[in-house]
Amino acid sequence: MLANKTALVTGSTSGIGLGIAKALARQGANIVLNGFGDAEVPRSEIAALGAQVAYHGADMSKPDEIEAMMAFAASTFGQVDILVNNAGIQHVARVENFPVERWDAVIAINLSSAFHASRLALPAMQKANWGRIINVASVHGLVGSAEKSAYVAAKHGIVGLTKVTALENATSGVTCNAICPGWVLTPLVQKQVDAKAVAQGISNAEATRQLLGEKEPSMQFTTPEELGELAVFFCSPAGNNVRGVAWNMDGGWAAQ
Protein backbone atom coordinates (compact mmCIF):
# COMPACT_ATOMS: atom_id res chain seq x y z
CA MET A 1 0.00 0.00 0.00
CA LEU A 2 2.84 2.42 0.79
CA ALA A 3 5.28 1.44 -1.95
CA ASN A 4 7.35 4.42 -3.10
CA LYS A 5 6.38 6.38 0.03
CA THR A 6 8.92 7.42 2.66
CA ALA A 7 8.16 7.49 6.37
CA LEU A 8 10.32 9.31 8.88
CA VAL A 9 9.66 8.18 12.46
CA THR A 10 11.33 10.10 15.26
CA GLY A 11 12.34 8.26 18.42
CA SER A 12 12.16 4.98 16.53
CA THR A 13 15.12 2.91 17.71
CA SER A 14 12.88 1.15 20.23
CA GLY A 15 9.38 1.01 21.72
CA ILE A 16 6.40 2.72 20.10
CA GLY A 17 8.42 4.38 17.34
CA LEU A 18 10.01 1.12 16.22
CA GLY A 19 6.63 -0.62 16.30
CA ILE A 20 5.15 2.04 14.03
CA ALA A 21 8.19 1.99 11.72
CA LYS A 22 7.88 -1.78 11.32
CA ALA A 23 4.16 -1.56 10.52
CA LEU A 24 4.81 1.06 7.83
CA ALA A 25 7.73 -0.97 6.47
CA ARG A 26 5.46 -4.00 6.08
CA GLN A 27 3.31 -1.85 3.80
CA GLY A 28 6.30 -1.12 1.59
CA ALA A 29 7.37 2.32 2.82
CA ASN A 30 11.00 3.42 2.90
CA ILE A 31 11.90 4.13 6.54
CA VAL A 32 14.08 6.80 8.11
CA LEU A 33 14.84 5.91 11.73
CA ASN A 34 15.88 8.39 14.40
CA GLY A 35 16.78 8.01 18.05
CA PHE A 36 19.46 7.49 20.65
CA GLY A 37 21.26 4.25 21.41
CA ASP A 38 22.15 1.39 19.08
CA ALA A 39 20.64 1.87 15.63
CA GLU A 40 22.03 -1.26 13.99
CA VAL A 41 19.54 -3.72 15.50
CA PRO A 42 16.43 -1.72 14.54
CA ARG A 43 17.93 -1.05 11.09
CA SER A 44 18.41 -4.77 10.53
CA GLU A 45 14.88 -5.52 11.76
CA ILE A 46 13.40 -3.03 9.29
CA ALA A 47 15.60 -4.28 6.44
CA ALA A 48 14.46 -7.84 7.17
CA LEU A 49 10.93 -6.73 6.31
CA GLY A 50 12.13 -5.85 2.81
CA ALA A 51 12.11 -2.09 3.27
CA GLN A 52 14.78 0.43 2.38
CA VAL A 53 16.02 1.94 5.63
CA ALA A 54 18.24 4.84 6.69
CA TYR A 55 19.09 6.35 10.06
CA HIS A 56 19.76 9.85 11.31
CA GLY A 57 20.75 10.52 14.91
CA ALA A 58 19.38 14.07 15.25
CA ASP A 59 18.93 15.35 18.79
CA MET A 60 15.25 16.29 18.70
CA SER A 61 15.77 19.13 21.17
CA LYS A 62 17.87 21.02 18.60
CA PRO A 63 16.12 22.69 15.62
CA ASP A 64 19.27 22.76 13.50
CA GLU A 65 19.71 19.01 13.88
CA ILE A 66 16.05 18.45 12.98
CA GLU A 67 16.61 20.51 9.84
CA ALA A 68 19.65 18.37 8.99
CA MET A 69 17.61 15.19 9.52
CA MET A 70 14.80 16.37 7.23
CA ALA A 71 17.32 17.35 4.55
CA PHE A 72 18.99 13.94 4.90
CA ALA A 73 15.66 12.14 4.47
CA ALA A 74 14.83 14.17 1.37
CA SER A 75 18.24 13.62 -0.19
CA THR A 76 18.14 9.88 0.56
CA PHE A 77 14.61 9.03 -0.59
CA GLY A 78 13.26 12.11 -2.41
CA GLN A 79 10.89 13.50 0.19
CA VAL A 80 9.11 12.65 3.44
CA ASP A 81 5.56 11.49 2.66
CA ILE A 82 4.72 10.26 6.17
CA LEU A 83 6.03 12.00 9.27
CA VAL A 84 5.55 10.31 12.63
CA ASN A 85 6.43 12.65 15.49
CA ASN A 86 7.08 10.18 18.29
CA ALA A 87 10.24 11.30 20.14
CA GLY A 88 9.60 11.85 23.82
CA ILE A 89 11.09 11.90 27.30
CA GLN A 90 9.58 12.00 30.78
CA HIS A 91 10.36 13.54 34.15
CA VAL A 92 8.21 13.21 37.26
CA ALA A 93 8.03 15.85 40.00
CA ARG A 94 5.59 18.25 41.60
CA VAL A 95 5.32 21.64 39.90
CA GLU A 96 7.12 23.50 42.69
CA ASN A 97 9.97 20.98 42.60
CA PHE A 98 10.18 20.52 38.83
CA PRO A 99 13.72 21.35 37.61
CA VAL A 100 13.55 24.16 35.06
CA GLU A 101 16.05 22.45 32.76
CA ARG A 102 13.94 19.27 32.76
CA TRP A 103 10.81 21.27 31.91
CA ASP A 104 12.65 22.89 28.99
CA ALA A 105 13.93 19.53 27.75
CA VAL A 106 10.52 17.82 27.90
CA ILE A 107 8.82 20.68 26.05
CA ALA A 108 11.60 20.82 23.44
CA ILE A 109 11.62 17.10 22.65
CA ASN A 110 7.94 16.22 23.19
CA LEU A 111 6.34 19.30 21.63
CA SER A 112 8.65 21.71 19.82
CA SER A 113 10.32 18.95 17.80
CA ALA A 114 6.96 18.02 16.28
CA PHE A 115 6.43 21.62 15.20
CA HIS A 116 9.88 21.84 13.63
CA ALA A 117 9.62 18.52 11.77
CA SER A 118 6.09 19.33 10.58
CA ARG A 119 6.92 22.79 9.28
CA LEU A 120 9.78 21.29 7.28
CA ALA A 121 7.78 18.33 5.93
CA LEU A 122 4.62 20.20 4.93
CA PRO A 123 5.78 22.07 1.79
CA ALA A 124 6.67 18.88 -0.11
CA MET A 125 3.49 17.15 1.09
CA GLN A 126 1.39 20.12 -0.05
CA LYS A 127 3.11 20.19 -3.44
CA ALA A 128 2.41 16.46 -3.91
CA ASN A 129 -1.14 16.88 -2.54
CA TRP A 130 -0.58 13.81 -0.36
CA GLY A 131 0.95 13.46 3.07
CA ARG A 132 0.39 12.06 6.50
CA ILE A 133 1.54 13.63 9.75
CA ILE A 134 0.94 11.35 12.73
CA ASN A 135 1.69 12.83 16.13
CA VAL A 136 2.17 10.35 18.94
CA ALA A 137 0.57 12.14 21.86
CA SER A 138 -0.66 10.18 24.87
CA VAL A 139 -3.78 9.74 26.92
CA HIS A 140 -2.07 12.58 28.80
CA GLY A 141 -2.94 14.75 25.82
CA LEU A 142 -6.56 14.31 26.96
CA VAL A 143 -6.35 14.01 30.76
CA GLY A 144 -3.85 14.92 33.47
CA SER A 145 -1.88 13.05 36.10
CA ALA A 146 -0.14 14.46 39.15
CA GLU A 147 3.62 15.10 38.99
CA LYS A 148 3.73 15.05 35.17
CA SER A 149 3.26 18.75 34.46
CA ALA A 150 5.74 19.07 31.58
CA TYR A 151 4.68 15.82 29.91
CA VAL A 152 0.97 16.59 30.20
CA ALA A 153 1.48 20.17 28.99
CA ALA A 154 3.50 18.94 26.00
CA LYS A 155 1.02 16.22 25.07
CA HIS A 156 -1.95 18.58 25.35
CA GLY A 157 0.06 20.88 23.11
CA ILE A 158 0.61 18.07 20.60
CA VAL A 159 -3.16 17.52 20.38
CA GLY A 160 -3.65 21.24 19.75
CA LEU A 161 -0.90 21.31 17.12
CA THR A 162 -2.54 18.31 15.45
CA LYS A 163 -5.89 20.09 15.16
CA VAL A 164 -4.38 23.27 13.73
CA THR A 165 -2.22 21.38 11.22
CA ALA A 166 -5.25 19.36 10.10
CA LEU A 167 -7.40 22.48 9.69
CA GLU A 168 -4.79 24.37 7.71
CA ASN A 169 -4.60 21.46 5.24
CA ALA A 170 -8.24 20.39 5.34
CA THR A 171 -8.94 20.92 1.62
CA SER A 172 -5.80 19.09 0.53
CA GLY A 173 -4.60 15.50 0.50
CA VAL A 174 -2.49 16.15 3.59
CA THR A 175 -3.89 14.88 6.89
CA CYS A 176 -2.71 15.22 10.48
CA ASN A 177 -3.90 13.08 13.37
CA ALA A 178 -2.74 12.13 16.85
CA ILE A 179 -2.46 8.75 18.54
CA CYS A 180 -3.07 8.84 22.29
CA PRO A 181 -1.89 5.59 23.93
CA GLY A 182 -2.38 4.64 27.54
CA TRP A 183 0.20 2.36 29.13
CA VAL A 184 2.48 0.79 26.52
CA LEU A 185 5.18 -1.59 27.75
CA THR A 186 8.16 0.34 26.39
CA PRO A 187 11.59 0.58 28.07
CA LEU A 188 10.41 3.91 29.59
CA VAL A 189 7.37 2.29 31.22
CA GLN A 190 9.35 -0.80 32.27
CA LYS A 191 11.59 1.52 34.30
CA GLN A 192 8.50 2.83 36.11
CA VAL A 193 7.35 -0.74 36.84
CA ASP A 194 10.82 -1.67 38.13
CA ALA A 195 10.98 1.44 40.32
CA LYS A 196 7.55 0.72 41.81
CA ALA A 197 8.56 -2.88 42.55
CA VAL A 198 11.77 -1.79 44.30
CA ALA A 199 10.13 1.07 46.24
CA GLN A 200 7.35 -1.15 47.58
CA GLY A 201 9.28 -4.40 47.87
CA ILE A 202 6.87 -6.25 45.59
CA SER A 203 7.20 -8.43 42.50
CA ASN A 204 7.26 -7.00 39.00
CA ALA A 205 3.99 -8.78 38.31
CA GLU A 206 2.32 -7.08 41.27
CA ALA A 207 3.86 -3.73 40.34
CA THR A 208 2.46 -4.15 36.83
CA ARG A 209 -0.99 -5.00 38.21
CA GLN A 210 -0.92 -1.91 40.43
CA LEU A 211 0.27 0.35 37.60
CA LEU A 212 -2.49 -0.76 35.25
CA GLY A 213 -5.09 -0.82 38.01
CA GLU A 214 -4.55 2.84 38.80
CA LYS A 215 -5.70 4.07 35.38
CA GLU A 216 -6.39 1.44 32.72
CA PRO A 217 -9.67 -0.52 33.05
CA SER A 218 -8.66 -3.18 30.52
CA MET A 219 -5.77 -4.19 32.82
CA GLN A 220 -3.56 -4.75 29.79
CA PHE A 221 -0.86 -2.85 28.00
CA THR A 222 -1.38 -1.49 24.51
CA THR A 223 1.32 -2.88 22.24
CA PRO A 224 3.58 -1.04 19.78
CA GLU A 225 2.21 -3.38 17.11
CA GLU A 226 -1.36 -2.20 17.75
CA LEU A 227 -0.26 1.43 17.55
CA GLY A 228 1.55 0.64 14.31
CA GLU A 229 -1.62 -0.75 12.77
CA LEU A 230 -3.50 2.44 13.72
CA ALA A 231 -0.78 4.45 11.96
CA VAL A 232 -1.23 2.25 8.88
CA PHE A 233 -4.96 2.98 8.96
CA PHE A 234 -4.30 6.72 9.02
CA CYS A 235 -2.12 6.24 5.91
CA SER A 236 -4.71 4.14 4.08
CA PRO A 237 -7.44 5.36 1.71
CA ALA A 238 -9.92 4.75 4.55
CA GLY A 239 -8.12 7.50 6.48
CA ASN A 240 -8.42 10.13 3.76
CA ASN A 241 -11.04 12.15 5.64
CA VAL A 242 -9.86 11.44 9.19
CA ARG A 243 -8.50 14.83 10.13
CA GLY A 244 -7.45 16.37 13.41
CA VAL A 245 -8.49 13.50 15.66
CA ALA A 246 -6.89 12.54 18.95
CA TRP A 247 -7.47 8.79 18.82
CA ASN A 248 -7.00 7.23 22.23
CA MET A 249 -5.93 3.58 22.43
CA ASP A 250 -5.91 3.43 26.21
CA GLY A 251 -7.92 0.47 27.47
CA GLY A 252 -10.73 2.76 28.62
CA TRP A 253 -8.55 5.21 30.61
CA ALA A 254 -10.13 8.39 29.23
CA ALA A 255 -13.63 6.89 29.26
CA GLN A 256 -13.81 6.94 33.05
Angle, helix 149-168 to helix 100-107, in steps of 10 degrees: 30
Which one from 103, 151, 183, 221 is the annotated catalytic residue? 151
Q: Give the burial class of 11: count Cβ atoms within 10 A of its Cβ; 0-12 exposed, 13-18 middle, 19 or more buried.
A: buried
Pairs from 87-92 (Cβ < 8 Å, separation ≥ 24): 87/10, 87/11, 87/17, 87/34, 87/35, 87/60, 87/113, 88/11, 88/136, 88/151, 88/154, 90/148, 90/151, 90/188, 91/150, 91/151, 92/147, 92/148
Annotated active-site residue 55? The verdict is no
Catalytic residues: 151
